[in-house]
């Protein structure tokens, strides 16, 4: 009978060692898979969002300093109004303007002045930056919810002041591909 107790004790001990070994192996593999998942999925997404924001900021700074090389070409509104930026010339319908270094407005948006002192400013809204929107009660809201334009694209807006949502939608330019 003592032999059977020792045999059962060894069997229980062996089973316990086996269960602990499997648990250790499983936890080691689980941690390695989690690290692999973090490295391959999450970190690259965070990096690309960071880089995208950094690129938009660089582009905005270039424009505010008078470098228009990245906004050259044809732009159009949803209404079918076209404009073209050619060097420092802005062609809007039959009108021709010469762009002059502007700066930043109170919302941190870069703008371009034109040679016509009585003309509106040409605002540049990089990807992800909402256009300030005038509400019916007279307040100005700066959010993706209020902005009717496509914030996944760079946009131009020729305006003298903050516009209501409907006017933004009609007058915002998107670059043609």
In the predicted structure, residue 9 carries a pLDDT above the cut 90: no
Query: Into how many domains does the chain fold?
Result: 1
In the predicted structure, residue 22 carries a pLDDT above the cut 80: no
Q: Span 103-122, mean pLDDT?
A: 88
The CA–CA distances, whole Å, from 105 to 22, 108, 151 equal: 63, 5, 19
Q: 63 — phi, psi (to 5°)?
A: -65, -45
The CA–CA distances, whole Å, from 53 to 57, 63, 126, 128 equal: 6, 16, 9, 8
Q: Span 134-155, mean pLDDT?
A: 94
The two structure tokens encoding residue 45: 């997404």
Domain limits for position 75: 1-177
- At 31-80, the pLDDT tens digits run 444 344 444 433 333 334 445 556 888 888 999 889 999 999 999 999 99
Q: Span 115-119, mean pLDDT?
A: 79
pTM of the full predicted structure?
0.67
In the predicted structure, residue 6 carries a pLDDT above the cut 80: no
């Amino acid at each position: 009978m003592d032999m059977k107790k020792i045999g059962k004790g060894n069997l229980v001990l062996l089973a316990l060692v086996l269960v602990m070994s499997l648990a250790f192996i499983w936890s080691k593999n689980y941690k390695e898979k989690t690290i692999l998942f973090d490295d391959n999925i999450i970190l690259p997404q965070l990096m690309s969002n960071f880089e995208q924001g950094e690129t938009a900021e660089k582009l905005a700074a270039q424009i505010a300093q008078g470098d228009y090389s990245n906004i050259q070409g044809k732009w159009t509104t949803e209404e079918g109004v076209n404009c073209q930026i050619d060097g420092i010339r802005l062609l809007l319908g039959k009108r021709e303007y010469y762009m002059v270094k502007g700066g930043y407005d109170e919302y941190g948006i870069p703008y371009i002045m034109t040679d016509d002192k009585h003309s509106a400013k040409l605002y540049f809204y990089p990807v992800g930056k909402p256009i300030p929107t005038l509400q019916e009660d007279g307040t100005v809201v700066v959010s993706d919810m209020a902005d009717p334009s496509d914030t996944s694209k760079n946009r131009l807006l020729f305006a003298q002041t903050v516009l209501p949502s409907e006017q933004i939608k009609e007058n915002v330019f998107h670059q043609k591909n």
